[in-house]
Structure 1
Amino acid sequence: MYYVNQEQIQHRLDAIPEIAEALTKVAVSWDGSVMFGMVQERALHLAIEVVTDVGSYLIDGFIMRDASSYEDIMEINYEEKVFDGEVYNVLLELVSLRKALVQEYFTWKRCELHKLTPVLPNVLDKFADQVRAYIKQELRL
């Protein structure tokens, strides 16, 4: 029997619409300002935290192999068919930004629109849908 913390997973998935909205607004209205740069940075960081937190809850709950990195969290979930290859490729690129955003933030190029910003809203929505479908299937809900 699995214990999957569905409540905590849902709390994190519930944050996706706001993150997606911020990313969409930044992409559409990009002007290279510090304000838009900071909003983009925070939204990318939150997106990373959501997908890695959810991925970790799934790994723990479904007793998958242990992850050794953020990239490994994404790989394990992809191998377990939580999400498809399209989502995996974008999320793998996303989580690779964590070190730059959290530890090397002083070198982050705030005046540039990151290439993931316009594509992430759609991918995050797919991620949420595929996670929910995976849980439903695995727990036979």
Structure 2
Amino acid sequence: MYYVNQEQIERRLNAIPEIASGLRQAVESWDGGLIFGLVQERALHLAIEVVTDVGSYLIDGFIMRDASSYEDIMDITHEEKVMTSEVHTVLLELVRLRKPLVQEYYDWERHTLHPLSSVLPDVLEQFAVNVRDYLKQEL
């Protein structure tokens, strides 16, 4: 029997609507200014943390192979059929932004709308549906 921390997974999935809303508002109101640039930056960072945290909980709970990187977390959960290929492709691109956002933040271009910002809200919402469906199926 697996121990999957569904409570912690659900807490993280429940953050997705606000992250998606923040990204949608930033995209709709984009003016190249600092405020929306910072909103976008933080929302992208939070999205990375949500998907990697949830992925890690699934990997640990279902005793999947160990992940060696953020990209590997996305690959493993995709291989285990947690998410669709379309969601995986976007989330893989997303997690590759972690180093620039967290470690090289001083070089991040805050005055440019990142291409992921417009597609990510729907993908995050689909990711939540995929994870919940996976949990129902496997538990």
TM bracket (short chain): over 0.9
Alignment of 1:38-49 (within 5 A): 38-49=38-49
Mapping for residues 90-129 of structure 1, pairs under 5 Å: 90-129=90-129
Distance 2:25 2:118 in 1: 9
Unaligned runs of 5+ in 1: none
Task: Write out per-residue CA displacement over residues 13-62 of structure 1, whole angstroms, 9 at most, x where no aligned residue.
Answer: 00000000000000111000011100000000000000000000000000
Report the Cα offset of residue 125 of structure 1: 0.4
TM-score (norm 2): 1.00
Aligned mates of 1:16, 1:105 — CA distance in 2: 23
Report the RMSD for the aligned CA atoms in angstroms.
0.3
- Percent identical: 72
Match of 2:75 in 1: 75
User: Structure 1 residue runs of 4+, over 6 Å off?
Assistant: none
Whether 1:28 aligns to 2:38 is: no
Q: Which runs of 5+ in 2 are unaligned?
A: none
Normalised TM-score (structure 1): 0.98
* Structure 1 CA distance for aligned equivalents of residues 136 and 56 of structure 2: 17
